[in-house]
Chains A and B, each alone.
Chain A
């Protein structure tokens, strides 16, 4: 099955029109010594019907959240996705168009970006936001790069309670340009402000904390902010957008840059993506921001319209002097987030956040009551928490999968955390009391 409309007759007519006898005449520029001498070694073509069957079987081999009760989080979450999102974002006009290089015929996408930017600024309490980043981890790395260029300092400090993938991504990005990265241990589930104070130096560009952090715990943000700014460094906060329905905004805490994974806003987990990262900052950093930004303007008839703007930051203009290399990002996913926030609204976001609080605290209390289980950290948490388990957490997760339960994340999979008996459990608004009770009962079998 190919998607080529032209027939042999069409091709013959075209070749005749340009005076060639075969397509081979157009390939004479490809020397023989680099030519492939046979067909590619790939499986033979499938009809659309066969494709449905083959891939349907493949999908059915997964223990996905449509068949299992999922308590897996760790940066992506099984939040409810309202039906309108898929129907609207699936419209060809949004789905198949490209970057709005011709704004006169791209106002739908451009106004969507402007609305997205506004919503991200509302959520984060910061002044400017861009059109999207790849994901939370790469957005965090870009924040570190911005902090370096804005401060002229070459050292980045991360709380050890930041998502391990974010830490690893920052390290990967930091290597080439020679940025020094230090991770501070958080044995009590959050960064100790005194430890941070002792680690800060006058060459520290920024401190990166996650709030709620990878363990689900809240950080001591007010104290951390004082320490960071006292040393002249920038404060970068990675945040869960759903938490911002009840938890204070990064702007109100005094953050300079806020980033995060936006999947929770109307995007499926989709085995890791595509979702979106978001990036917001104080207005003084706007000319150093990575990524696309839309701005409002008018056309010749003074009608409101939107364009991509501040492009002198970007790779297609500045090339090797650009603030980032980002080009294609996650526009459709950002649109889905925008539609989600429109549907859920001011009250709805608070309600989702509160449901997460109620359900996760109910689950945590019940699990902590089980023989052999205890909460790992004595700190406030939002929708996710770590329990120490009486049996190996990896073993528990494997066994509970047979009961249709995805029990959480074995923290032993992240050696850098040095927690071998920790199970990270996420409870979103989507989990019912019956599912939570089933999880508690199943965990109880290991007591």
Chain B
């Protein structure tokens, strides 16, 4: 039974919230505003009572899977437990009702938090300066690229190109285009790593940067990272780290120590802020010392005992959004870092890595790790002795002979009560499934997941239709995606206007 739209629950005259009567003298609205600017037709919002609203959104909520219910092994997204205390801290009225346009004197607690979080993230990254302004990981990438462009411009030549591995997140090349650069793709080698020889050949005086994720999107650590950094720096380019996989390196190694010049953090991955069904996130960016002058303005600073926003930054790229950033997410990340401390953060990464390797090794017979040999459709195995880091990518090509795709296996996993891994990414693994358990799954939870994946592999052999037609137990079955791709399906208003 599907839930009606809130508009379909509307009944004229119903109200969901009461408002006070005016306590000041009242004049007709037309005495305040010109007639030509008065709204002719009121917006078609629903008319519903509070109980209608509460029940509607409560019922809708029950249609979602979520990590408070069970493991959510969505690789690359680091869906870890979101500590409840973080929510309470962000909701403190002293934070939640603090206005960003107040003068700094009345915002000392907020500024202190931002200052300390910047400092902590800089330490975690092994870099000099941090901006907290970007609203999400992709926004952080864009900001980082703008900073790198400003660096090259300050050196007299903006350059044209950014090199990106073929295993990169899609946001990387999209961000490159937005900043006016061209993407040059570098193929991954048969070990699933950057081919340093190829990199040395591709890089030249027009290369602004090399963007890399480490561990990379196959979950493999780029052991030659220092060599890579040398190649990049020798060409006068900058090395950018997509921090999506930072959950693997906390307290073990630091982007700055690896030779990265710029990194973005995903507070909603590594630092436990909840994902909200697709945001809000936050994507702070850390940079090495000579790039600090290009950071977005303003930057929180400390003068003596007082904190303030510094706007006097003539070399800054400017603002990338309004106000100071997604402060509520900073509060949660700050609470998380303070709760863990330095030892706790290292344990986070060690446990995330152990959990991932445990699953990888126990599933490798059914779900082997492979990578495509560049330019071919041939898979080559990742050797078992190469550990993964916090995640791994398995190939599902062996199920093809039964007419089953990784998509089917992902859907079948929903029937077992788990969310699905990330599938069909990265693009260099055929029938890819990227599994990231995070450190907040217990052994029992992980064992249940392994059992489910193993059982599905057996189902493929014995009853492939059961898998091909999954899911069977979810609120809706597989949806016709093509049918949704028209303006008339994108909102109710358009549909109504067509009918009129």
Given contacts A61-B108, A309-B490, A358-B24, contact A272 B251 (CB under 8 A): no
Q: Is the CB of B353 within 8 A of A108?
A: no
B92 contacts A59, C-beta separation under 8 Å: yes
Q: How far is the CA of A319 from the CA of B425 in the complex (A)?
A: 13
B82 / chain A contacts, CB cutoff of 8 Å: 95-96
Q: Is A325 an interface residue (CB 8 A)?
A: yes
Which residues in B have their C-beta under 8 angstroms from that of A343? 16-17, 48, 50, 53
B residues 2-21 near A (Cβ < 8 Å) are 2-3, 5-7, 14-17, 19-20
Q: How many residues of A contact B (CB 8 A)?
A: 212
* Cβ B95 vs Cβ A345 within 8 A: no
Asked whether A248 and B351 contact (CB < 8 A) given A346-B45, A362-B25, the answer is no
B439: which A residues are within 8 A, CB to CB? 3-4
Interface membership of chain A positions 18-44, coded 1 if the CB is closer than 8 angstroms to chain B and 0 otherwise = 111001011111110111100111111
A10 within 8 A of B: yes
**Considering the chains assembled together, what is the distance between the CA atoms of A41 and B327 in angstroms?**
23
CA–CA, A225 and B268, complex, Å: 41
Min CB gap B64→A, angstroms: 4
Query: Is B329 located at the chain interface by the 8 A CB criterion?
Result: yes
Q: Is A378 an interface residue (CB 8 A)?
A: no
Query: Judging by beta carbons under 8 Å apart, are A107 and B60 in contact?
Result: yes
Question: A135 near B322 (CB under 8 angstroms)?
Answer: yes
Chain B residues near A10 (CB-CB < 8 A): 442-443
From B176-184, B395-403, B457-465, give the one contacting chain A.
B176-184
The reply to whether the CB of A329 lies closer than 8 angstroms to some CB of chain B is: yes
Q: Which residues of A contact B83 (CB under 8 A)?
A: 3
Is there contact, CB below 8 Å, between A300 and B101? no
Q: Which residue of A lies closest to B92 (CB)?
A: A59
> In the complex, which residues of chain B have a beta carbon less than 8 angstroms from the beta carbon of A333?
276, 279-280
Q: Which residues of B contact A341 (CB under 8 A)?
A: 45-46
- Alpha-carbon distance A303/B489, docked complex (angstroms): 15
A328 close to B340 (CB less than 8 A): no
* Minimum C-beta distance from A82 to chain B (A): 5
Q: How far is the CA of A40 from the CA of B346 in the complex (A)?
A: 9
Partner of A297 from B24, B142, B179, B489 at Cβ < 8 Å: B489
Question: Is B19's CB under 8 angstroms from A352's CB?
Answer: yes
Q: Chain B contacts of A60 at CB under 8 A?
A: 94, 109
Q: Which residues of A contact B43 (CB under 8 A)?
A: 119, 122-123, 125, 244-245, 249, 346, 349
Give the 5 A-B residue pairs with the shortest CB-CB distance, closest first: A59-B94, A45-B341, A295-B484, A332-B276, A272-B323
26 chain-A/chain-B pairs, Cβ below 8 angstroms: A26-B357, A26-B389, A34-B253, A36-B253, A64-B98, A72-B102, A75-B323, A76-B100, A95-B274, A98-B79, A104-B475, A112-B60, A135-B321, A165-B321, A169-B320, A172-B317, A175-B180, A178-B180, A221-B37, A244-B39, A297-B480, A309-B489, A331-B277, A342-B53, A354-B22, A354-B29
Seed contacts A11-B354, A111-B3, A135-B135; 11 additional CB < 8 Å A-B pairs = A2-B339, A59-B95, A93-B66, A94-B64, A95-B66, A101-B74, A119-B45, A276-B280, A317-B170, A330-B280, A342-B45
